[in-house]
A = this chain, B = another copy of it.
Amino acid sequence: MSWGVNRVGTWMPGWVTGVVGGLVRGARRMLPDSRHPARVVVAGFAVTILIGTVLLMLPVASANGQLTSWVTALFTATSAVCVTGLIVVDTPAYWSTFGELVVLGLIQVGGLGIMTLASLLGMVVTRRMRLRTQRSAQTETKSLVLGEVRRVVVGVIVLSLIMEIVTAAILSLRLVNAYGYSWAHGTYLGVFHAVSAFNNAGFALYPDSLVRYATDGWICLPIAVAFVLGGLGFPVLFELTRHLRRVQRRWSLHARITLAGYGLIALVGVVAITGLEWNNPATLGAMDTDGRLLTGLFHGLTPRTAGFNTLDVGEMQPATLLVTDVLMFIGGGSAGTAGGIKVTTFALLAFVILAEARGEPQVHIAGRRLPTEVVRQALTVVLVAVGMVFTATLVLLVLTRFGLDAVLFESVSAFGTVGLSTGITGELPAVGHLVLVALMFTGRIGPITMASALALRERGRRYDLPEERPIVG
């Protein structure tokens, strides 16, 4: 297995592997042997969203027992499966408990699905690259074998469950002890927000998201830890567990870039957003120093791409919104629950500039050389992402009377599957909601499927045409 998931199955309880057998066989049948495994991801997400839409349209799903319009149901199902968190109706007020459980289920399926499929796609890509460059000493086949797929599926499920259970336990205890919830209600809230946090879904069961808990570190910090870990991605989490168990010493290039890049961008984000909002009386300015630091930390991290808010985003400075736009666009780690173009994609472009500034003919990162085509793939992913956000922003500007601040923020939030909003989501016309649905869907699976499709495709036309250079700049 290409990024080292060799022994994940060995420390899982037997019943877990049994439960997921069907899923594994289904995934394996389609994924490794297909010439276009990315299509499986597209189809899987589309079908899940359609099932969710139908369930949410049922009268039993709404609090008032009425049929829900297909646009609202489709928007909510897409937002849940794509773990975005944008909402057109208030989650606790509009949906029944059944509706909330459907949302919770969609979040869980979406989060597990994206981690599993993106991890497998990443392995397939790395495998083929190795075979092509013939650097692999072992006899590897082109396709993944059943055992590898099972280990990834089991690993993803077990890691998710552990994280969610621990987070849910802390949240439930706090909600019961400090806020007087019954054990049943507190546990329900704890589980819902833990699942929503680890999967970077951003759905909350309060009309103000988590604003009421802004200064409560026992709520904010466990949630932040959960969404940061989920957002690092399964390959990195798996390597972390192997380092903790001391079965691995060397860090993969992917883990190094993700951890350093995620940390650096998080640091910049926290400092910038805390600084920019420090004296804003409508946000941090109203809190004491401890509250400002905790809330600033949370709002430096939540754009990557958790989507919970403990401040009113609509009251933020335009500069804060712009910084948040960038954080949301970059997003988190690959093959995790975070969205965006991903930390590695962004970092690769930074390393290209660094190589150019140093005048080096090839891109080197931490003693490793980057394959030339990866730079082009990263560039393509970023430019297509920019094009999609630009197009959606333009359409929403035409459809509404909102300014660029709010509309760009909404588009980036949807594409990055973040879920933060300045408050305009519900006020958009139905066409605007469908634009956001398209953005959430492509934002969730686009970068992953595009990058792997580009990396896996056949390369033809090896002969050289005469070279000619236009003037750049």
- A contacts, CB < 8 Å to B: 3, 118, 122, 125-126, 129, 133, 135, 233, 235, 252-254, 257-258, 276, 317-319, 321-323, 326, 334-335, 341-342, 344-345, 347-349, 352-353, 355-357, 359-362, 364-365, 367-381, 383-384, 390, 393-394, 397-398, 402-405, 407-408, 446-452, 454-455, 457-462, 464-473
Quick check: B405 and A368 within 8 Å, CB to CB? no
Copies in the complex: 2
B368 touches A318 (CB 8 A): no
Choice from B135, B373, B384, B404 contacting A353 with Cβ under 8 Å:
B384
Contact across chains for A318 and B471 when beta carbons are under 8 A apart: no
In the bound complex, what is the Cα–Cα distance between A457 and B250 (angstroms)? 35
Bound CA span A359–B367, Å: 28
- Extra 19 A-B pairs, beta carbons < 8 Å, given A365-B470, A371-B467, A374-B470: A122-B471, A126-B471, A133-B467, A257-B470, A319-B394, A319-B398, A334-B472, A335-B471, A342-B472, A344-B471, A344-B472, A349-B383, A353-B380, A356-B376, A356-B380, A359-B460, A360-B459, A375-B375, A375-B376
Closest to A361 in B: B459
Distance A469 CA – B364 CA, assembled complex (angstroms): 11
- Complex Cα distance, B462 from A390, in Å, reads 39
Q: Is the CB of A472 within 8 A of B361?
A: no
Task: Check if B473 sits within 8 Å of A381, measured CB to CB.
Answer: yes
Nearest chain B residue, comparing its CB with the CB of A399: B319
Q: Given A404-B405, A461-B361, A394–B322 Cβ distance below 8 Å?
A: yes
A361 touches B373 (CB 8 A): yes
Residues of B within 8 A of A129 (CB): 469
| Nearest CB in chain B to that of A377: its residue | B472
Complex alpha-carbon distance, A459 and B361, angstroms: 6
- A–B pairs, 13, beta carbons within 8 Å: A3-B471, A318-B397, A322-B394, A326-B390, A360-B459, A361-B373, A368-B465, A368-B467, A368-B468, A370-B468, A371-B469, A377-B472, A450-B473
**Which residues on the B side are within 8 Å of A472 (C-beta)?**
334, 342, 344-345, 348, 374, 377-378, 381, 447, 451, 455
A16 to B403, CA, bound (A): 53
Hey, which chain B residues are within 8 Å of A233, CB to CB?
471
**Identity of the chain B residue whose Cβ is nearest the Cβ of A450 in the assembled complex:** B473
Contacting residue for A369 out of B365, B380, B464, CB 8 A:
B464
| CA of A342 to CA of B472, assembled, Å | 7
B469 pairs with A356, CB closer than 8 A: no
Rounded to whole angstroms, the CA-CA distance of A191 and B415 in the bound complex is 50
B371 touches A356 (CB 8 A): no
Pick the residue among B344, B403, B458, B465 that contacts A470 (CB under 8 A). B344
Q: Which residues of B contact A407 (CB under 8 A)?
A: 318
Query: What's the Cα separation between A391 and B365 when bound, in Å?
Result: 26
User: Is there an interface contact between B471 and A364, defined as CB atoms closer than 8 Å?
Assistant: no
Contact status B369-A465, CB under 8 Å: yes
